[in-house]
Amino acid sequence: MKLSAIKNIISDIVIVRDAEFYELGLTATQCSVSMLSFLENTKYIDELLSNATISCAIVNPETAEMIKDRTTIGIAVSESPKHSFFFLHNYLIENTDFYGQSDGSIIDPSADINSTAWISKTGVSIGAGTIIGPHVSIYPNVRIGNNVTIGANSIIGGEGFECFRFQDKAFMVKHAGNVLIGDNVDIQASCCIDKGLFKNSTIIGEYTKLDNLVHIAHNVILGRRVFIAACAMLAGRVTVGDDAWIGPSAALRNGITVGNNGYVSIGAVVTRDVLEGQMVSGNFAIGHDKFLQFIKSIR
Amino acid sequence: MKLSAIKNIISDIVIVRDAEFYELGLTATQCSVSMLSFLENTKYIDELLSNATISCAIVNPETAEMIKDRTTIGIAVSESPKHSFFFLHNYLIENTDFYGQSDGSIIDPSADINSTAWISKTGVSIGAGTIIGPHVSIYPNVRIGNNVTIGANSIIGGEGFECFRFQDKAFMVKHAGNVLIGDNVDIQASCCIDKGLFKNSTIIGEYTKLDNLVHIAHNVILGRRVFIAACAMLAGRVTVGDDAWIGPSAALRNGITVGNNGYVSIGAVVTRDVLEGQMVSGNFAIGHDKFLQFIKSIR
Amino acid sequence: MKLSAIKNIISDIVIVRDAEFYELGLTATQCSVSMLSFLENTKYIDELLSNATISCAIVNPETAEMIKDRTTIGIAVSESPKHSFFFLHNYLIENTDFYGQSDGSIIDPSADINSTAWISKTGVSIGAGTIIGPHVSIYPNVRIGNNVTIGANSIIGGEGFECFRFQDKAFMVKHAGNVLIGDNVDIQASCCIDKGLFKNSTIIGEYTKLDNLVHIAHNVILGRRVFIAACAMLAGRVTVGDDAWIGPSAALRNGITVGNNGYVSIGAVVTRDVLEGQMVSGNFAIGHDKFLQFIKSIR
């Protein structure tokens, strides 16, 4: 799609330099093809300039001036880049095929679907031997592998939580991505697994197991054999390596990474990356040994 | 209603001074009309005496003696005021029109109601363009505005959590209030929004957005454009100002206030008011700057 | 059942000394009859030897050598005892009557079952005057008493979270136990109450009250008149005494005990036993007085 073509959708932008893009994404998003992004605040200009997959950007006049010599980036100027960007994104989802079209849902005949489950008639595929429990809700853009179980009242493929204020209103950003659940995954009751925001995915790796009431936000990527205990909360874009343990009631801030075999203690509020094999505890979480030392000092 | 009339409902009370009341409420409740309250423990007598909307009170003999000269308050004496009060409250809900009657539910023809949603046949109104997802449960006494979305498996208008022990038993207090959801509110999946306890409301202001698995207790009042992230817990009577951010897995103690633009960090356990524009973090939460200083000292 | 008989189910074990067992259990499980257990790690051999109800054990060669003179324990040797044990357990559930058979479900005619609730056709009993809300899911092996209420979208009798890795895979352990809910219990919306792991129970004592979004793991035992506020998480085998208060968003580590009248503060992450009448706060939780002293020092 040409940057100049979005002028037909958002009238109050000015095209400074035209270019092509194939996807939309945040400046923090890594994409396999050229993408359109935006910058609301000039302060984060380095994030924009260091992301080589960005071929087009919606920016404010000040930023436009600063990047005018960067000829690899097409530029559209808006007084409110974030609003323009997400308005375009929502428009493309609702009115165009930019994000693709959903086919009819495909459920393997050997899958066991509870009669009270609700499964979208389009955009869902469910593999062989998979069991879908009572009152499960499965939205479009969900691909579930073989021998998976989804426990009662869980919701797969719901909208993620991306919202922004504009003037005296506030808006939700629609989600165009999907959820990919690998073979032999088990998800217990009342979990929520949201879909990806752009042309990307929330991924649950093979053999990974989730307890009850777990929240998996948009674009989380879980490795293989990850165990996530009850009431844990994984915010957007969290990445968890193979064989990690996420304790019950833990909360992981958006964007962080937990390495292979990482161990997050019960109730830990994790705001920094967890290294391979590292154990962290506390609110905010720190290395477990230092944490125990601290607790002993006040106990 | 006359205080003396409750003698017919609770036989083991003594009317010391008669008076009129129109609602029931806790001593902490502010009411627009004269109300009946109770005091279990004489220690909190100031809360009773400083609430000008209280026209009647059920109290123990000791308290009755102390307030006998306060002629603006009708007095009923009970050996267990809390039990008498809530017994009366439950009786009025179940057997009288004191708390009003529910009309048939009204759903705007342009609303999109998933076929698996359960909506009470009485006491619900749903506005134009509103979308109700799969497996949603909506109890009586719920008013939902226009262009609202309620995500899968959310529960609106459930009973709040007010319970008390009496002798070797324990009882739930029934809820007579309602839930008011403003226009353009978005509520994601598996949220619980409880109704008000008395003739009052749990209120979600216009354009406010809730992520998955959020708990909103009875009589919470949310302003406009409030964003509440996944797994957050707002206990009874919490008030949140416009444009505030409640982080994921945060827990807010009952009765506290978060000012406009207040910012509650991920996992914060908030036990004191949050000022306008203030950021708080930790368990229990403190000002964010002091909190970071502390974390650095133990990291 | 004879230990030697399991050789037909798990071929790669060696029976060193035969003996009889009637149930399966962890080394930490107390059982009323002779049981089969396992030991993965020789380090915990004392837990095995001090549990008098263990009549048979699956152990590795090293442990077998160490307990060969303990003639009261039958011994089966496996290179991966945990895997062998749970493979046997899953096999017994799926292919034999070892764990008993479910009868048809029995619902008292005076119970009020919402038309959208899903109740297993076998293994459920529901008492007189009990109310089951919309979108509730009740799995087999659940016994609900009289005058109980189960709120919307709650799940009773779901599988607990017991899983283990083996080679490059991971497995869930099936649950053979049940859930027992006493008379006059109230459970609000979106709660999860998992069944016991072996021939044992998750128990909710009479008059106990649960708020929304509470997680009760396998083999939790709650006393009478316990109040558990919203979003609390009780991990496996937690025991809570009569009249205790578990605050909102609290998290209790597996195996701990809260004494009668114990008080767990909002957001507390409890990793040690709470004494009778004790109040604990913080992450990890400590005595409330010491905790307040600490908070004052950093506020």
Q: What percent of chain A has pLDDT over 90?
A: 95
pLDDT of residue A208 exceeding 90: yes
Chains touching chain A, criterion 3+ CB pairs below 8 Å: B, C
Rounded average pLDDT over C275-293: 98
Cα–Cα distance, A106 to A94 (Å, whole number): 23
The answer to whether the A3-95 and A106-298 domains have the same CATH topology is no
pLDDT of residue A29 exceeding 90: no
How high is the mean pLDDT of chain A?
A: 96
- Confidence class of residue C29 from pLDDT cuts 50, 70 and 90? confident
The model's pLDDT over A267-284, given as tens digits with 9 standing for 90+, comes to 999 999 999 999 999 999
- Check CB contact of C117 with chain B, cutoff 8 Å: no
Backbone φ, ψ for residue A14 (5° rounding): -120, 125
Q: A with B: how many residue pairs have Cβ under 8 Å apart?
A: 116
Cα–Cα distance, B135 to B152 (Å, whole number): 6
DSSP letter, residue A133: -
Q: Which residues contact B42 (CB under 8 A, 6 or more apart)?
A: B60, B62, B63, B66
The model's pLDDT over A122-159, given as tens digits with 9 standing for 90+, comes to 999 999 999 999 999 999 999 999 999 999 999 999 99
Peptide bond into A284 cis (omega under 30): yes
Give the one of B189, B229, B298 whose C-beta lies nearest to A294's C-beta: B298
Residue C219 region by backbone torsions, left for phi larger than 0, else alpha for psi between -120 and 50, else beta = left
- Length reported for chain C: 299
User: What pLDDT score was predicted for residue B256?
Assistant: 97
- A232-240 contacts at long range (C-beta below 8 A, 24 or more positions apart): A233/B213, A233/B230, A233/B231, A233/B248, A233/B249, A235/B229, A235/B230, A235/B248, A235/B266, A236/A160, A236/A161, A236/A162, A236/A197, A237/A28
User: What pLDDT score was predicted for residue C190?
Assistant: 98
Give the one of C208, C212, C267 whose C-beta lies nearest to B158's C-beta: C212
CA A213 from chain centre, in angstroms, equals 18
Cα–Cα distance, B133 to C180 (Å, whole number): 32
- Neighbour order of strands in the sheet with A233-234: A118-119, A137-138, A155-158, A192-194, A215-216, A233-234, A251-252, A269-270
Question: Under a CB-based contact definition with an 8 Å cutoff, are residues C133 and C189 in contact?
Answer: yes
Catalytic residue, chosen from C83, C89, C215, C218, is: C218
pLDDT of residue C240 exceeding 90: yes
Tens digit of pLDDT per residue, chain B (299 long)? Answer: 999 999 999 988 999 999 999 999 999 888 888 999 999 999 999 999 999 999 999 999 999 999 999 999 999 999 999 999 999 999 999 999 999 888 899 999 999 999 999 999 999 999 999 999 999 999 999 999 999 999 999 999 999 999 999 999 999 999 999 999 999 999 999 999 999 999 999 999 999 999 999 999 999 999 999 999 999 999 999 999 999 999 999 999 999 999 999 999 999 999 999 999 999 999 999 999 999 999 999 99
pLDDT of residue C16 exceeding 90: yes
Cα–Cα distance, A136 to A156 (Å, whole number): 8
Q: Class assignment of domain C3-95?
A: alpha beta
Give the one of A135, A184, A267 whose C-beta lies nearest to C269's C-beta: A267
Rounded average pLDDT over C230-259: 98
For residue B61, give Cα distances in angstroms to A9, B67, C172. Answer: 73, 10, 59
- Check CB contact of A129 with chain C, cutoff 8 Å: no
> Residue B214 is inside which H or E element, if any?
none
- Check CB contact of C230 with chain B, cutoff 8 Å: yes
Handedness of CA A81, A82, A88, A92 (dihedral sign): positive
- Select from B137, B131, B140, B130 the least CA-distant residue to B153: B137
Cα–Cα distance, B266 to B248 (Å, whole number): 5
User: What pLDDT score was predicted for residue C31?
Assistant: 82
Question: Under a CB-based contact definition with an 8 Å cutoff, are residues B82 and B97 in contact?
Answer: no
**Interface mutation vs chain C, best among B219, B269, B273, B293, most C CBs within 10 Å:** B269
- Check CB contact of A170 with chain C, cutoff 8 Å: no
DSSP letter, residue C173: P
Q: In b/e form, how buried is each residue of A191-205, taking b as 16+ CB within 10 angstroms?
A: bbbbbbbbbbbbbbb
- Check CB contact of A225 with chain C, cutoff 8 Å: yes
The model's pLDDT over A245-259, given as tens digits with 9 standing for 90+, comes to 999 999 999 999 999
Q: Residue B218 catalytic? A: yes
CB contact under 8 A, B209 and A163: yes
Place of tokens 């007579």: B176
CATH entry, B106-298, from 2.160.10.10, 1.10.10.10, 3.40.50.2300, 1.20.140.10? 2.160.10.10
CB contact under 8 A, A158 and B151: yes
CB contact under 8 A, C158 and A134: no
Strand partners, A186: A149, A209
Cα–Cα distance, C244 to C224 (Å, whole number): 9
DSSP letter, residue C63: H
**In chain A, domain spans:** 3-95, 106-298
Residues of chain A with Cβ-Cβ distance to B227 below 8 Å are 163, 170
**Interface mutation vs chain A, best among B116, B148, B188, B261, most A CBs within 10 Å:** B188
Q: To 5 degrees, how large is the angle CA C221–CA C223–CA C229? A: 90
Residues of chain A with Cβ-Cβ distance to B134 below 8 Å are 118, 137
CB contact under 8 A, A158 and B189: yes
Rounded average pLDDT over A16-39: 92
- Check CB contact of A219 with chain B, cutoff 8 Å: no
Rounded average pLDDT over A199-213: 97
- Check CB contact of A255 with chain C, cutoff 8 Å: no
